[in-house]
Copies of this chain bind each other. A is one copy, B any other.
Amino acid sequence: MERLSGMDASFVYLETPTLHMHVSMLGIYDTTTVPGGYRFDLLKDTISERLHLVPPFTQRLVEVPFKLHHPVWVNDPHFDIDYHVRRIAVPAPGGRRELGDLVGQLTSVPLDRTRPLWEAWVIEGLKHDRVAFLIKIHHACIDGASGAELMTELYDVEPEGREIAPPDPDDQEQIPTDAELVGYALVSKARNAWRLPGLLGKTVESATNVYRRRRDPAAKVGATPLTAPRTSFNGAITAHRKAAFARIPLDETKEVKDIFGVKVNDVVLAVTAGALRAYLERREELPPEPLLAVVPISVRAEDERGQQNNRVSAMFTSLATDIDDPVERLRAIAESTEGAKEEHNAAGARMLTDWTEYAPRRVFGVAVRAYSSMHLANRHRPIHNLVISNVPGPPFPLYFAGAELVAAYPMGPIMEGAGLNATVLSYRHHVDFGFLADRELVPDVWDLAEGVAPAFEQLREAAKNLG
């Protein structure tokens, strides 16, 4: 039995019929490397033998009686691998568009709360002997950084695989009784109450810090929430998603970063900003104010590695889409992210995570559901325009059931009011962009994704002229 952290639990409470809180990863595999050839059962068996390495795969949520506390994770005695690992195919010709359509449909369906909160879809019928593997996992059990760690548990670094030690037979746990759950919740509540006065003090201090910095004209500042311009992809979301993908080369991304003296993350943001600017210009709706992105950042301490829960915070960053010149835009973004990070540190990086421990569970759920059902998102200025999440992945090739992973597109959830999420992962020689969008607000998400490569090309050309 393991208690959900406040942040993990908030991702459960946040969920509504239109707001799905699963994160997804679409891996594209080359099956020609599979010893003996590809079979669906190979993939299912590979997951089966590694289930015990990834606790969320076999644990399900159990509510504490009277909702005294956040739910807890317990081992699911009815666990059924055939439920979680499914087989499907794309229609001919099995290209990117057909795959995107299918992934959009599969990610539109929420996970079943009565089961371990994941589904894996093996997608056949792709061109060139490729097979895709879509994993949906609830955000309550995973964040970007722990997701990347999970990859290392599931994958091999050689097509031949590796020896997996069987699960410890003593590690069996029963569903706790109601009395056990109540006792656990009360002890946990008491322990948390003890820490509350300290957190209150810290919060006052951090608010003062941020206020003082903003009054200092020399300080670099981030973007201000609720100042985002309205775009066609900001509005009330539906339950339905569209997906699209793009990729740029990693080595050249690093060259651009070095030449302009910025971070890889800034280049990723600038490329996304360039694609967004071109998309909005084509639609003749580029707002005069810069778009504002929320960028999740990991606040995972070194000693928390290996824990598969959420240690994330977020910073508000300008995408400088009001600037025409791609290099100036990149520099403006780098300045904004630096300011956002400094403010974030001033506020105390763990503040958001710490507070979610205390927010009453109904506060999340009721507020979000009311917000959603009243379509409030259509009525005020957007808090942010989109979420852009950038996670570093491994630079070496990974194999699953002997098949080589050739591309890995992550997709984060979209939030009420902002129907677009760009999640980005570097893997081997590429930076892979996964776009997940509301079906109604961004029906042409492929048009946006197709803008990634040209936006990067602009920066690379500018860097070449300078370098």
Contact = CB atoms under 8 A, between A and B. Distances in A.
Given A105-B88, A125-B89, A125-B91, A112 B40 contact: no
Interface in A59-100: 83, 86-92, 98
Contacts of A92: 89, 124-125
A89 B86 contact: no
Nearest to A125: B89
A89 B89 contact: yes
Most interface-central of A91, A101, A124 (chain B CB within 10 A): A91
A439 interface: yes
A83 B124 contact: no
Contacts of A102: 88
A172 interface: no
Contacts of A114: 238
A430 interface: no
A429 interface: no
A95 to B, nearest CB: 13
Q: Which 5 A-B pairs have the closest CB atoms?
A: A89-B89, A89-B91, A91-B124, A87-B91, A89-B125
B238 A91 contact: no
Nearest to A80: B440
Interface string A28-56: 00000000000010000000000000000
B83 A439 contact: yes
Given A91-B124, A125-B125, A86 B112 contact: no
Task: Say how many copies of this protein the assembly contains.
Answer: 2
A332 interface: no
A283 to B, nearest CB: 19
A369 interface: no
Interface in A282-314: none
A89 B90 contact: yes
Chain A interface residue bracket vs B: 20 to 34
A110 B83 CA distance: 18
A101 B90 CA distance: 15
A109 interface: yes
A240 interface: yes
Contact of A91 (B88, B105, B112, B439): B88
A168 to B, nearest CB: 28
Contacts of A40: 91
A239 interface: yes
A441 to B, nearest CB: 13
Interface in A108-125: 109, 112, 114, 122, 124-125
Nearest to A101: B87
Contacts of A124: 91-92
Contacts of A88: 88-91, 102, 105
A90 B102 CA distance: 12
Contacts of A83: 240, 439
A40 B98 CA distance: 12
Nearest to A86: B105
Contacts of A112: 238-240
A93 to B, nearest CB: 11
A197 to B, nearest CB: 39
A90 B40 CA distance: 13
A446 to B, nearest CB: 14
Interface in A382-415: none
A83 B101 CA distance: 11
A92 B114 CA distance: 31
A239 B240 CA distance: 19
Nearest to A87: B91
Contacts of A91: 40, 87-89, 122, 124-125
13 contacts: A83-B240, A87-B91, A87-B98, A87-B101, A88-B90, A88-B91, A89-B89, A89-B91, A89-B125, A91-B122, A91-B124, A92-B125, A114-B238
